[in-house]
């Protein structure tokens, strides 16, 4: 079974592909938008995880 990070990356990949084809028309635009969305989702999730790290569980 995939670990959580891999699943998060896979989800980010699917979402980024989807929105780049939904909202952008040209190939170059799509590539740029894909990397922006993909990067924002993956990096954002990792940053958020670290921000939450000091907080106690439960």
Partner 1 sequence: MSDGAKPVGLALPLPVLMGLAWLVPGLGHALLGRRLRAAVFFVVITLGFIVGLLLDGELMLPQSGDALSFLAMIGSDPLRSLALIASVGNGLLFFVAHAIGTGQGVVTAPGYEFGNTFLLTAGMMNLLLVLDTHDIATGRKDW
> Is 31 a binder of partner 1 (CB under 8 A)?
no
- DSSP H helix total and E strand total for the chain: 2, 0
Q: Minimum distance between the CB of residue 37 and partner 1, rounded to whole angstroms?
A: 13
CA-to-CA dists, residue 38 to 27, 54, 55, angstroms: 16, 26, 27
Token reading at 56: 């106690």
Question: Of 14 and 47, which CB lies nearer to partner 1 in the complex structure?
Answer: 14
Question: Of 2 and 51, which CB lies nearer to partner 1 in the complex structure?
Answer: 2
Only one of the segments 12-20, 34-42, 46-54 lies at the binding site for partner 1 (rule: CB under 8 A); that segment is: 12-20
């Amino acid at each position: 079974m995939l670990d959580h990070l891999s699943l998060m990356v896979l989800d980010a990949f699917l979402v980024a592909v989807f929105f780049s084809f939904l909202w952008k028309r040209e190939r170059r635009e799509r590539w740029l938008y894909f990397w922006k969305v993909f990067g924002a989702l993956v990096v954002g999730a990792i940053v958020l995880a670290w921000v939450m790290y000091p907080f106690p569980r439960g």
